[in-house]
Chain A
Amino acid sequence: QERLVQSGAEVKRPGSSVRVSCLASGVTFHNFQITWLRQAPGQGLEWVGAMIPTYGTRHYGRIAPDRVTITADGSATYMELTSLRFEDTAVYFCARSPIIDMYRGKYYDFWGQGTLLTVSS
């Protein structure tokens, strides 16, 4: 079955770090872009950052450019977010997109199921 499988829900303290994984099952990351997005409760979708593993290119969005790191290892991709804040509480999604070039992707054709991150003291 073709899908992206994400790691489970996390509860973290402010100031700590979290690492969320996204494993490809039946799909490939080769020549695709992997993007991490997040959705705060009742809100829309925010772009966190993206990577094209084939080229090693990465871009981070304005949400947390100095706190997020996206990596890939074969059929898995990871998003690490440091110095967590209450406002980082959200569902985090990984999503795959066909690439336009070594920097840009298109629409998201496969999505992970989402990982709820709760930042609470």
Chain B
Amino acid sequence: EAVLTQSPGTLSVSPGEKATFFCRASRTESDTSLAWYQQKPGQAPRVVIYDTSNRASGIPDRFSGSGSGTDFTLTISRVEPEDIGIFYCHQYGSAPQTTFGRGTRLEIK
């Protein structure tokens, strides 16, 4: 399966600013989609975006996802202090086993 490379490793953003997360797949695979998860310390991940651009239930509209092929993006339009955590991208659909990126840590300045 494809390897997912996330960048940057750490994102430090002031409240109210925009945060952009990148996820690049090592190859294009047919019939695949991408999800983004937020994980806060000591908690399980929770889905933020699924099928590349759909917001999960309860996720504020400041979160958005986009992309196609090998390049995907998660954007938080106006970061709030509660948004801290590690964000993982996750590709699924091509095979039973799925792949995660190594994560991007979001810090608040």
0/1 string, B59-98, CB within 8 A of A gives 1: 0000000000000000000000000000010101101111
**A95–B98 alpha-carbon span in the complex (Å):** 13
C-beta contact mask, A107-121 vs B, less than 8 Å → 1, else 0? 111011110000000
Give the residues from 82 to 121 in chain A that come closer than 8 angstroms, CB to CB, to chain B. Answer: 93, 95, 97, 100, 103-109, 111-114
Across the interface, do A45 and B44 meet the contact criterion of CB distance under 8 Å? Answer: no
In the complex, which range does the number of interface residues on chain A fall in? Answer: 20 to 34
Q: How many A-B residue pairs have CB under 8 A?
A: 61
B51 at the interface (CB under 8 A from A): yes
Q: Which residue of B lies closest to A98 (CB)?
A: B50
Beta-carbon contact of A100 and B93 below 8 Å: yes
Q: Are A47 and B97 in contact (CB under 8 A)?
A: yes
Contact with B along A2-31 (1 / 0, CB 8 A): 000000000000000000000000000000
Please name all residues of chain B whose beta carbon is closer than 8 Å to the beta carbon of A62 when the two chains form the complex: 97
**Distance in angstroms between the alpha carbons of A9 and B104 in the assembled complex:** 27
| Smallest CB separation, A78 vs chain B (Å) | 18
Which A residues are closer than 8 A to B by beta carbons? 35, 44-47, 50, 59, 61-62, 93, 95, 97, 100, 103-109, 111-114
